[in-house]
Each structure stands twice: as C-alpha cells, then as structure tokens.
Structure 1
Amino acid sequence: MIGWGKGLLWLALAAPAALMAWRLASGEATAFDLYQPTGELSLRLMLLALIPGPLAEFFGRGRFLRAWLSVRRNLGVAAFVYAALHLAAYVADMQALAAMLAELALPGIWTGWLAFAVLAVPASISTDVAMRRLGRTWKRLQWLAYPALALALLHWALLDRAWLPVLVHLVPLGLAWSLRIAARNGYRFRRRPA
C-alpha cells in the first residue's frame, strides 16, 4: 500500500482512540467505561492481522489478499496500541499500585498482563529495519501474536465469565486455519477459467 493509503489507514485506526479520548475528557465516560471498547478493539485488530496469512495459502495472493497482507503489521501494531490503552484505562481506574498488586494473583488479571507482555515482542519488532536485521528469527517472533491472542481471549473469558463471545471471535481464525491446513494437504482454491 502506498504512503497516502497507509496514512488513511492509520487515521481510521486512530479514530476510535480519538473518540474515546474525547469522551473521557468531556466527562461522558470514565476510565472504567473504556475497558471493554479498548480490549475488544485490540482483540479484533489482532484477529484481522492474523487471518490473511492462512487465507492467502488457500486462495492465493489475489489483489484483495495482497492489500490485506500489506497492512497486517499495521493492524498488529494498532492492536498493541489499543492493548496499551486498555492497560492505561485499568491503571487510571485502579488509581493505586497496591490495588493492582492485590489483584495480580487473579487468573483474569495476570492473563491480561501476560498477554500484553507477549504482544509487546512482535509489536516492538514490526519495522522493516527489525525485519532485515532479525532475518528468519523475525518471523518466529511474530508468531508470539498467537499465544498473545490466546491469553487475551482467556483474560476476557475469565473476567466476563462468558465463553460465547470468545468462541464467536475465534470462529474466523479457526476457519482461516482450517483452510491453511487444507492448503498444506494439497487442497487449494482454484479459479475457474473465464
């Protein structure tokens, strides 16, 4: 995607954060009110970053998937930014280190901290420079997005005590991975000649 296209993408990705900041500044929302939208947006952006790779293996790299693949690093970094905003909302809501430490042993809390720490690794190396310097190691480190996603989904399920929304979010990734497995076993989508 050319420069102006990525600029528009980042404007679109930043728009929800700007709206949340405005709601917070105007007193329309509290830090507690931002837990859910920041967390869910982070998860959805992670999914959007992880889905195109498996789809490309099955369907090939048509124009749509090439465009999607070209922005997946941006989507992953944006997922990390919204995870950081989620964490900032938590810190602002708790207001005291002692209160945060007191709940750190709860599975619903430490899974969130661990998901953030794991996601920080691929986010921090999502640059062209890091890609060149790390070589093959770069791709292996980017795979940490998968355990980060699993931990984030577990964090959500444990805190909300509801598994259905988590499972609904897993369906697209599960389908994409089913197609990847099919492609690796010799089944690929073939366009019919016109």
Structure 2
Amino acid sequence: MSLVKSFFNHPYTFWAILSLPAIPMLAGLAANEPGAVGEVLHPSGEFAARFMIIAMMITPLTMLFKGARWPRWLRKRRRHIGVAAFGYAALHTLLYLIDEGAVAFTGAEIANFYIWTGWLAFLIFVPLAITSTDGWIRRLGSRWKNLQRFVYGAAVLTLLHWASLHDWGGVAPTLVHFGPLGALEAYRVWAMVQKRTLKAA
C-alpha cells in the first residue's frame, strides 16, 4: 500500500475530514462576537443532518453500484460518519440551550412542533452513538442492527424539524437534502422486492 493511500485510509485522517466543517464554527464561537452562537446554531444542525443522510445512503449506494470500490470504502467508515452526525447534533443542541437559556425548558417552547421533533431526533441519536463501539456490537449481537434501524425514525423527525423551521420556510432546503436519500431508499426497497420475487419464482 502506498504512503498516500495509507494516509487517506487511516481512521485519524477520516476523522480530520469529518471535523473540517466544525473549524469555522468553533472559530466563530472563539471570536465571541455578539450573535456568534446564533450564527453557528443552524450550520451545526445542517451538518448533523447531512452526515446522517450520507451514512444512510451508503447501503443503497452499495447495492446500486455493485462492484464499485468507493461505496465499500464508505461502508467501512459508516459508523464514523454516524458518530460525526451525533457530534454535530450534540453541538447543535448545546448551542440551542445556550442561545435560549431557561426559555428552552418552558412548556411553550417545547410545545413548538420544530422543537419537540428536534429533541426526539436527538434522543434517538444518543443510544445509537453510545452503542457504536465494537464492544457494544459484540455485546448486543443481532440486536445491534435492530437498534440501528431507529435511525429511520430520527431521519423522519429531522426532516420535519428542519422543514418546519421559520414557519415551514425550511421545506425547500430539506427536500434538496433528503430527496436523494428518499430516491435511494425507494430503489433499495424495489431491489429487495425484485430479489424476493426472483427467489419465489
């Protein structure tokens, strides 16, 4: 294996790539200018959604591009991407709490559709992130995959959370981001149905 290939295949290199979007966010927070938290709040949530979407797209991409190496390369790193999604979601949640303060815990705030959908999505993310280690995978066995399927619920809640922001002004960007995932998941379901039909024939 060449030195360049070894460098790009190293887990630390991949983690560094996943951390790149956080650099301008943290730099903005470090500047401590008025409104800095609010400026970083939305990008952190958007990157949480983007990395979640990428992680979910890997399996149907592997099915669609059979024999291609790059989907398999991504598949080996899917857990890294999922943990990165949680990391950005945790940052997004922390910034929201800092920005809103005590208001975040009032009934009027939590009752907002875009708020409780976001909280539920984050709460689903927590056990998925905690059980992403090799030790938990061995401990849970076949139950680990069943647990990971809850990511679909988190995806739907994230879609609703993003779309309902600003009086449903987030619909267009949400569709742009979730559209490719929806198309790939539809292909995945179609491919599985076709496979079962052929086996039954």
TM-score normalised by L of structure 1:
0.88
Instruction: Report the counterpart of residue 160 of structure 2 in structure 1.
Output: 154
- What is the SS of the residue equivalent to 1:51? helix
More off after superposition, 36-45 vs 126-135: 126-135
Alignment of 1:134-149 (within 5 A): 134-149=140-155
Q: Does structure 2 retain, via aligned residues, the 8 Å contact 1:55–1:179?
A: no
Amino acid at match of 1:50: M
Distance 2:54 2:41 in 1: 20
Q: Does structure 1 retain, via aligned residues, the 8 Å contact 2:28–2:40?
A: no
Instruction: Report the counterpart of residue 105 of structure 2 in structure 1.
Output: 101
Cα distance, 1:86–1:6 mapped onto 2, change above 3 Å: same
Instruction: Report the counterpart of residue 78 of structure 1 in structure 2.
Output: 84
Distance 1:18 1:51 in 2: 25
- What is the SS of the residue equivalent to 1:27? coil
Instruction: Report the counterpart of residue 192 of structure 1 in structure 2.
Output: none
Structure 2 residue runs without a partner (length 5+): 196-201
**Superposed displacement of residue 5, structure 1:** 2.0
Q: Does structure 2 retain, via aligned residues, the 8 Å contact 1:58–1:182?
A: no
Instruction: Report the counterpart of residue 182 of structure 1 in structure 2.
Output: 190
Distance 1:54 1:15 in 2: 26
Distance 1:181 1:100 in 2: 39
Amino acid at match of 1:166: T
The answer to whether 1:168 aligns with 2:176 is yes
Amino acid at match of 1:46: M
Alignment of 1:98-137 (within 5 A): 99-102=103-106, 103-137=109-143
- What is the SS of the residue equivalent to 2:36? coil
**Superposed displacement of residue 58, structure 1:** 3.3
Instruction: Report the counterpart of residue 199 of structure 2 in structure 1.
Output: none
Amino acid at match of 2:104: M
Amino acid at match of 1:130: W
Instruction: Report the counterpart of residue 69 of structure 1 in structure 2.
Output: 75
Amino acid at match of 2:36: T
Distance 2:134 2:75 in 1: 15
- What is the SS of the residue equivalent to 1:164? helix
**Superposed displacement of residue 61, structure 1:** 4.8
The answer to whether 1:23 aligns with 2:23 is no
Q: Does structure 1 retain, via aligned residues, the 8 Å contact 2:57–2:184?
A: yes
Instruction: Report the counterpart of residue 57 of structure 1 in structure 2.
Output: 63
Instruction: Report the counterpart of residue 32 of structure 1 in structure 2.
Output: 38
Distance 2:27 2:51 in 1: 21
Q: Does structure 1 retain, via aligned residues, the 8 Å contact 2:53–2:181?
A: yes
Structure 1 residue runs without a partner (length 5+): 188-194
Encode CA deviations 1:42-66: one digit per residue, 9 max, x unaligned.
Answer: 0000000000112223332531111
